[in-house]
Amino acid sequence: MGRGGGYGGGGGGGVAASLAALLCCGCVTLALAAAAAQGPRLPSAYKTLSGDAPRVVAKGGFSGVFPDSSSAAYLFALMESAPDTTLWCDVQLTKDGVGVCLRDINMQNGTSVAQQYPARKRTYVIDGVRKTGWFALDFTMAELQPVFLTQAIYSRPDHFDFAEYRILSVADLQSLPSIVKQPSVWLNVQHDIFYKEHGLNMRNYILSIQKNVSVDYISSPELGFLQNISGRVRRKTKLVFSFLDKALLDNSINQTYGSLLSNLTFVKSIASGIMVPKIYIWPVTKDNYLKAHTSIVAEAHSAGLEIYASDFANDRVIPYNYSYDPLAEYLNFISDGGFSVDGVLSEHPITASEAIGCFANLNSSKTDHGEPLIISHNGASGDYPDCTDLAYHSAINDGADVIDCPVQVTSDGTLMCMSSINLLDTTNVQRTPFSSRASVVSEIQATPGVFTFNLTWDDINSSIQPKISSPLSKYYIVRNPRYTNQGKFLKLSDFLAMGMDKDLSGVMIIIENAAFLAKSLGIDIIDSVNAALSAAGYDNQTAKGVLIQSKDSAVLVKLKQQKTKCKLVYTLPSGIGDVSTSSLEAVKKFADAVVVDKDNSVFTSSLAFIIRQNNLMKDLQSAGLAVYAQVFRNEFLSQPYDFFADATVEINYYFQSFNLSGIITDFPKTVTRYKKNTCTGLGNDMPNYMQTVPVGSLDQLLQNSKGQPPSMPPMPTLNASNVEETPLPPVAPRNEPGGSPWGAETPGAPPSDTHKATASTGILFVMAFAALLI
C-alpha cells in the first residue's frame, strides 16, 4: 500500500469536490475559460507526423501530486494543463467485468485494499512472473467501494492518502465536474491475456463502453489485442502499440519487442502509433548522462506511425545533462533534439504543457539585461564547482546579467572568490596535508575548519581542488558528478577582469566577516575591495554596474559614508515574514536594495506545503527598496509542493507576483530561458498553465483532512534592533597581538597546541564526515 494509514469511511471524493468548489470561487487557477483564453495558435513548427503540437497525456491525471487515477488527479490535470490534455487510464477488470482505472494490476501499492480486505491476498502468474497481492479481478465493483486510492510513489507526499478518493470506473471519466469540457480519454490495456485466462474479456469490455465513453486512444503492449479490436473501434479512436523492454516477449504474437522495433511496417498494419520509454529515444550511460539520440522517431514517422514517449515525471533524477530541469528534458524530445515526438506521457502535465506551448520556439535574441536581473550564485554552481572559472564562464554563456564573487582572503593577503571562508565546504582540502591546519575560530563558526586565511594563494591554487556543491546530497541528489572536482579558482582581480570583458550588466561583490578580518587579521576588506575595483577600471566607466552585498549592515554603512558609487545590497536575516517601519527606515539609510531568502521568508510553509504568503515582499517594495530573491535551484526538492517540482513554475510565480529587481540562482540557464518564453506577454490570452499557481491551495484542499500539515504561527518581524550593528573595529596591525587569530602567530600558520587540543576531537569527526560525503 501507499505510505500513511488510517483510512476512514464516509463520503469519498471530498477533495475532488473541494477542488471543484475552489475552481468556482477562484481560489485555484480558473479553467472556466481555458478553451477560450489559450491564445491564438501560431503556425506549427513542430516536426510531428501531423505537424500539430505534441499531445500532453496525463498519466493517471496529475499523479505527480495526487494519487494516480483519482478524481482530483484527473480534474487537476484538466485545470492546470493544456486544454486538449488527454487523460490516461490503466484499465483493470473487476470480477463482475467493470473496467476501473488503477495504475497497476496489483492493487497492493496505490490503494487501501490491504487494510480493507487483509485476508484476500492472492498469488498469480502474470506474464510468466509470480505476483502476490490484491487484484481487481477478485473483487466486484461494489466490494471496491470502501477501498481508497493512495500515493504509490514513496518519495511523494502521502497527505492526500487521507482524502478518501474512491476507485473510478472508466465511465466515471466522462462525469468529472462539468466546469471543464468533456475530456479526451486514453485507455491503456496492459494484461488482456491474463484476464482472458481468468474468464474476463477485455476486448468485449472495450468495445461495449464505446456507446457511453468517447475514447480517443487505446494502447497495449499486446499487439494481438490491438489486432483483435482493429476495425471494430470508432474511426476516430487511435490504436497505439506500447513497447516494453526490448528483450521481453510480446506473448500475444510470440515476438520480442526488439524484433518488433525493426519491423514497424508490420506494426503500422495494426496500429496508428507507438509508445516507447524515453530511453528508446535518448539512451543514457551507466553514470546517467545522455548518449546520442537514436533514429527511432524518424523511423516511426517514415513508417507513417505517430510516436509517443513515456516515463516523464518531475520528481526523478533525470540525466545530468538537464541540470535537474524537467522542462529542459521535454524540450529535447519536442524541439531541441531536432525532431519531435507526437506526444508525451507525463505525471506532471503542467510542465509538458509549458514546454510545448511556451518554450519550444523561443526568441533567440541576445540577452537584454533588463530587470529582473539574472544574478549567478557562485557562478553557475548548479553545474560546476562554486566560484571556478568553469562556473563563471557557464553562467555568462547561460545568460546571466550579473556574476557574483564572495570575497575571501588568503594568508598572504590575496583576495579570491570562494563561496565559503571554510575550505572544507567547497574544496577537497580534507584530502590534503593542509587538513592538519584545521582549528576552531569561534568568531566564524563553532566547529573546526580550514580557512582561506590558513593558506597562501599558491597553496590553494596549486594544491587544492574545488568540490561541487550539492545542497541536497543528503537525499542522494548530487550535481554533475563528472565535474565534481573540475575548474580553477579565481583571484578577485581575474574575476573583475572577466566581468569587464564579457557581455554583462555588472558584477556583485559579497563581503562577509569584515569585523573579524579587521580585528584578527589586520585586513580592511572594504578598502581592499575598493582598491581592486579601481585597479580593474570600474571607477572610470559607467557601462558595468557594481553591487556590493553583505549581511553585515556595518559594512554597508561604512561604504555609504565613503560615498561609494556601488549599489549597496543588504541581505536580510532568514526566517522573517514581515518588516517593521523602523527596520525599513534603518535599512534605507545604508542600502539601496535587499536580498530575501525565498525558502524561509517569502512564505510560511509546513511540511513543504505553503500555508500563506507573508507581507515581506509587499512591504519592502512599498518602501522603495529594490528586492532580489535567492537562491533559486532546479532540484525538485528545493521547491514547495505548490510549485509541482518544476523550477519554471516557481520562477513564473515570482516574476508575475513581485516586481523583482533580480533573481539569484544556481542555474542561470533556467531563468534565462524563462525570460524568453512566448506566453507571458499574451495578457488575457495567457494559457492557464502559465498563470501563477495559487500558493496555499493544496493546503486548503487538505483542510479538515487527517493529512493536513500542521498550522504555523506568523513568522517573526524584522525590527530596527535586528538591523543596526556596531561600527567595524579599527584595523589591527598585522603580526602583533590581536593581529591574527592566534595572537602573535602569522595568519596561515598552524594553530597553537591549545587550539589543537581543543579542536582535535571535532576535527577528526569533521574529517571523517567530509570524506564520507566525497
Task: Look at residue 5 in the predicted model and tell me its pLDDT.
Answer: 34
Q: Which whole number is the average pLDDT over 627-640?
A: 97
Task: Look at residue 177 in the predicted model and tell me its pLDDT.
Answer: 75
State the pLDDT confidence band at 443, using cuts at 50, 70 and 90: very high
Q: CA 62, CA 347: separation in Å to the nearest integer? A: 6
Is the pLDDT assigned to residue 243 strictly greater than 70?
Answer: yes
What is the C-alpha radius of gyration for the chain, rounded to an integer number of angstroms?
29
Closest CA to 333 of 287, 370, 280, 369: 280
Largest pairwise CA distance in the chain: 94
Task: Look at residue 363 in the predicted model and tell me its pLDDT.
Answer: 64
Task: Look at residue 19 in the predicted model and tell me its pLDDT.
Answer: 63
Phi, psi (deg, nearest 5) at residue 282 = -120, 85
Q: Looking at 316-409, which runs of residues are DSSP E strands?
A: 343-346, 373-376, 402-409
Backbone CA torsion sign across 649, 650, 655, 661: negative
Q: CA 372, CA 402: separation in Å to the nearest integer? A: 11
Q: Which amino acid is at 336?
A: D
Task: Look at residue 18 in the predicted model and tell me its pLDDT.
Answer: 61
State the cell numbers at 400: 546571466
Residue 244, CB-side half-sphere exposure with 13 Å CA sphere: 15
Domains of the chain: 55-359 (3.20.20.190), 373-424+444-469+478-720 (3.20.20.190)
Task: Look at residue 366 in the predicted model and tell me its pLDDT.
Answer: 59
State how beta strands 373-376 and 662-665 pair.
parallel
Is the pLDDT assigned to residue 144 strictly greater than 50?
Answer: yes
Query: Residue 642, SS3?
Result: helix
174-204 tens-digit pLDDT: 888 755 678 899 999 999 999 999 999 999 9
Q: Provide DSSP, 485-496.
A: T-S-BEEHHHHH
Is the pLDDT assigned to residue 154 strictly greater than 80?
Answer: yes
Is the pLDDT assigned to residue 12 strictly greater than 90?
Answer: no
Percent of the chain whose pLDDT exceeds 90: 83
Three-class DSSP labels, 303-361? CCCEEEEEEECCCCCCCHHHCCCHHHHHHHHHCCCCCCCCEEEECCHHHHHHHHHHHCC
Task: Look at residue 365 in the predicted model and tell me its pLDDT.
Answer: 60
Is the pLDDT assigned to residue 638 strictly greater than 80?
Answer: yes
Per-residue buried b or exposed e for 573-587, using 16+ beta carbons within 10 Å of the residue's own CB: eeebbbbbeebbebb
State the cell numbers at 493: 582581480
Q: How wide is the angle at C-alpha 108 spanned by C-alphas 103 and 114, nearest 5°?
A: 135
Q: CA 634, CA 382: separation in Å to the nearest integer? A: 8
Is the pLDDT assigned to residue 127 strictly greater than 80?
Answer: yes
Task: Look at residue 362 in the predicted model and tell me its pLDDT.
Answer: 78
**Cβ atoms of 136 and 108 closer than 8 Å:** no
Task: Please state the pTM of the whole predicted model.
Answer: 0.91
Residue 176, CB-side half-sphere exposure with 13 Å CA sphere: 28
**Cβ atoms of 469 and 426 closer than 8 Å:** yes
Q: Which whole number is the average pLDDT over 391-420?
A: 98
Q: Which whole number is the average pLDDT over 316-334?
A: 97
Is the pLDDT assigned to residue 740 strictly greater than 80?
Answer: no
Task: Look at residue 15 in the predicted model and tell me its pLDDT.
Answer: 54
Q: CA 209, CA 206: separation in Å to the nearest integer? A: 6
Which is more confident, 503 or 10? 503
Helices vs. strands in the chain: H and E counts, helices first: 25, 29
Q: CA 196, CA 220: separation in Å to the nearest integer? A: 15
544-599 tens-digit pLDDT: 999 999 999 999 999 999 999 999 999 999 999 999 999 999 999 999 999 999 99
265-299 tens-digit pLDDT: 999 999 999 999 999 999 999 999 999 999 999 99
Which residues lie across from 629 on neighbouring strands? 596, 663
Q: What DSSP element (H or E) covers 187?
A: strand 184-188
CA 358 to chain centre: 18
Which is more confident, 738 or 96? 96
Crossing angle of helices 553-561 and 525-535, rounded to 10°: 50
Is the pLDDT assigned to residue 752 strictly greater than 60?
Answer: no
Q: Which whole number is the average pLDDT over 698-702?
A: 94
Q: Which whole number is the average pLDDT over 101-118?
A: 97
Q: Which whole number is the average pLDDT over 505-525?
A: 97
Per-residue buried b or exposed e for 142-165, using 16+ beta carbons within 10 Å of the residue's own CB: ebbebbbbbbbbeebbbbbbbbbb
Is the pLDDT assigned to residue 737 strictly greater than 60?
Answer: no
State how beta strands 402-409 and 415-417 pair.
antiparallel
Q: Which whole number is the average pLDDT over 674-695?
A: 93
Q: CA 180, CA 88: separation in Å to the nearest integer? A: 17
Task: Look at residue 337 in the predicted model and tell me its pLDDT.
Answer: 87
Backbone CA torsion sign across 560, 562, 563, 566: negative
456-469 tens-digit pLDDT: 999 999 999 999 99
Q: Which whole number is the average pLDDT over 436-447?
A: 95
**Cβ atoms of 184 and 85 closer than 8 Å:** yes
Q: CA 287, CA 477: separation in Å to the nearest integer? A: 13
Mean model confidence pLDDT for the chain: 90
